[in-house]
């Protein structure tokens, strides 16, 4: 080992791949590289235990794989992410780096019992499983908790509801925030539901899923070692040919991420609109003031974090489209768009995790209610006349609303003029009771 990081550890196949794929300047995602190291290390130890590989060589390979897994050689993986669709170049890159570090043969020893066709997709699946489990889900839980805390804090603040962007019957600000918390909670549930499929890896299938040139116990033993070292539940494929021939589980996970992006878009738009103004807009929320909102207009504050959330959500939705197209490209025994899927899926996981933490910390946790603005909107919505329906009927309530709207007079004033008793009006138009769904 002892080779300095600045020295080139890769060999000729990696050099060819760098020359062949000068596409984006973007390398294979680091989590995939590190899982390649983990897989190679575990494979060497298993091959040693099975008596297929000399024990000393096996341990040198495993130690080199451990170093890659620990991030000590990230710079030794220069191949562009837009490369051969099986990820063969990256698997060879890993073989060459480990061979240099360990003094072993890159194919006969480092790649023993393996193929790019089962190793690279396994690394992608495990990277996605790891990042979703240990980064994204905790971030979503924090964001859900932030919305839930605000739902409790705002439970008695009544405001106008809105449907079709038009005034509707009152709701509480807390009810709206409880809806946001539920969207995030359900999004996390969708991710969790997809992960058992992602956890099924094709390792052991070698070239086409048949397991040619690998020991019958190899895959199960490697999965066991990987599960033990990572704390993740790593599963055998339901069918080896399904696992080798397509990347449906990654498409499924991406679909869950897209739903989260859709939810975040709705929430961020709502918060920006409720915070708009503050004087000439809706003005029901005060968003945290993080920075100047204009280089020319003094005192202007912009919804900068919701705007970040909206941009990230758009990127995640775009990534999902590319992943979907990539998932379509599995011909016969192998999907050959795996690097594309890996790049976009891991980017989406990272973007959503980082943005969820940011959204919670720099926006949601600092939101305060503009109680005067909420009260004003609650009292101004003519839709509260809906609560009069059980007392005076829909037609007469509509007549009162139209008169109030055209004249600019209050609903109360017009209703009393039209013969509704003050006692009936007060009983019907209790804003908090209306918001809680018990108007009649």
Q: Which of 90, 105, 122, 164 is catalytic?
A: 164
Phi and psi for 10 in degrees, rounded to 5? Answer: -85, 170
- The annotation status of 301 as a binding-site residue, yes or no, is yes
Is 117 annotated to bind a ligand? Reply is yes
Q: Please count the CA atoms within 13 angstroms of the CA of 12 that sit on its side-chain side.
A: 1
Is 163 annotated among the ligand-binding residues? yes
User: Annotation-wise, does 225 bind a ligand?
Assistant: no
DSSP secondary structure, 179-248, as one string: HHHHHHHHHHHHHHHHHHHHTB--TT-TTTSS-TTS-TTHHHHHHHHHHHHH----B--SSHHHHHH--H
Selected catalytic residue, list 294, 398, 407, 421: 294
Q: How far is CA 346 from CA 68, 78, 89, 243, in A?
A: 18, 18, 19, 19
The encoded tokens of residue 128 equal: 């996605």
Pair 140, 180: CB distance under 8 Å: no
Tell me the DSSP string of 148-197.
HHHHHHTTT-EEEEEETTEEEEEEEHHHHHHHHHHHHHHHHHHHHHHHHH
First to last CA, the chain: 78
Burial class (CB in 10 A: 0-12, 13-18, 19+), 270: middle
Ramachandran angles phi, psi of 168, nearest 5°: -135, -175
55 appears as a binding residue in the annotation: no
Is beta strand 166-172 parallel, antiparallel or unpaired with respect to 158-163?
antiparallel
Task: Confirm whether residue 229 is marked as ligand binding.
Answer: no
Question: Omega before 336 cis (within 30°)?
Answer: no
Residue 426: both structure tokens together? 């007060």
Please indicate if the annotation marks 110 as binding a ligand. Answer: no
160 is catalytic: no
Helix residue spans in 21-132 (DSSP H): 30-49, 55-69, 88-102, 116-131
Known binding residue 134? Answer is no
The reply, when asked if residue 116 is annotated as ligand binding, is yes
Active site residue 215: no
Asked whether residue 421 is marked as a ligand-binding residue, the answer is no
- CA–CA separation, 165 vs 287, rounded Å? 20
Query: Does 300 appear as a known binding residue?
Result: yes
Catalytic positions: 164, 294
User: Binding site, residues?
Assistant: 86-88, 115-117, 163, 295, 300-302
User: Binding site for substrate, residues?
Assistant: 86-88, 115-117, 163, 295, 300-302
């Amino acid at each position: 080992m002892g080779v300095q990081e600045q020295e080139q550890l890769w060999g000729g196949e990696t050099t060819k791949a760098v020359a062949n794929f000068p596409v984006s300047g973007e390398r294979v995602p680091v989590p995939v590289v590190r899982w390649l190291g983990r897989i190679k290390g575990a494979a060497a130890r298993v091959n040693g235990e099975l008596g297929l590989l000399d024990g000393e060589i096996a341990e040198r390979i495993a130690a080199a794989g451990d170093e890659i897994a620990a991030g000590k050689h990230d710079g030794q993986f220069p191949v562009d992410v837009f490369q051969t669709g099986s990820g063969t170049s990256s698997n060879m890159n890993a073989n060459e780096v480990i061979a240099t570090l360990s003094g072993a043969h890159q194919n006969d020893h480092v790649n023993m019992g393996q193929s790019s066709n089962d190793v690279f997709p396994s690394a992608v699946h495990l990277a996605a499983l790891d990042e979703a489990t240990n980064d994204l889900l905790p971030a979503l839980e924090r964001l859900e908790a932030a919305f839930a805390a605000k739902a409790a804090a705002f439970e008695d603040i009544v405001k106008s509801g809105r449907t079709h962007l038009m005034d509707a019957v009152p709701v509480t600000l807390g009810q709206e925030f409880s809806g946001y918390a539920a969207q995030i909670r359900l999004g996390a549930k969708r991710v969790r539901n997809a992960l058992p499929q992602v956890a099924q890896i094709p390792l052991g299938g070698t070239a086409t899923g048949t397991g040619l040139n690998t020991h019958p116990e190899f895959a199960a033993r490697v999965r066991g070692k990987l599960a033990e070292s990572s704390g993740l539940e790593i599963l055998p494929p339901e069918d080896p040919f399904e696992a080798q021939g397509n990347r449906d589980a990654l498409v499924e996970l991406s679909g869950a991420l897209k739903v989260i992006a859709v939810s975040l878009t709705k929430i961020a738009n709502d918060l920006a609109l409720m915070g708009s103004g503050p004087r000439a807009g809706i003005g029901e929320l005060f968003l945290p003031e993080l920075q100047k909102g204009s280089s020319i207009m003094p005192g202007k504050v912009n919804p900068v974090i919701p705007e970040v959330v909206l941009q990230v959500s758009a990127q995640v939705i775009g990534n999902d489209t590319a992943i979907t197209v990539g998932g379509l490209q599995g011909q016969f025994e192998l999907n050959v768009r795996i690097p594309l899927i890996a790049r976009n899926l891991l980017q989406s996981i990272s973007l959503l995790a980082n943005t969820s933490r940011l959204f919670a910390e720099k926006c949601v946790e600092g939101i305060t209610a503009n109680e005067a603005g909420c009260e004003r909107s609650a009292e101004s919505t003519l839709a509260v006349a809906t609560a009069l329906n059980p007392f005076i009927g829909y037609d007469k309530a509509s007549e009162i609303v139209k008169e109030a709207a055209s004249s600019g007079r209050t609903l109360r004033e017009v209703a009393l003029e039209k013969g509704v008793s003050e006692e009936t009006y007060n009983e019907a138009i209790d804003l908090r009771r209306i918001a809680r769904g018990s108007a009649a």
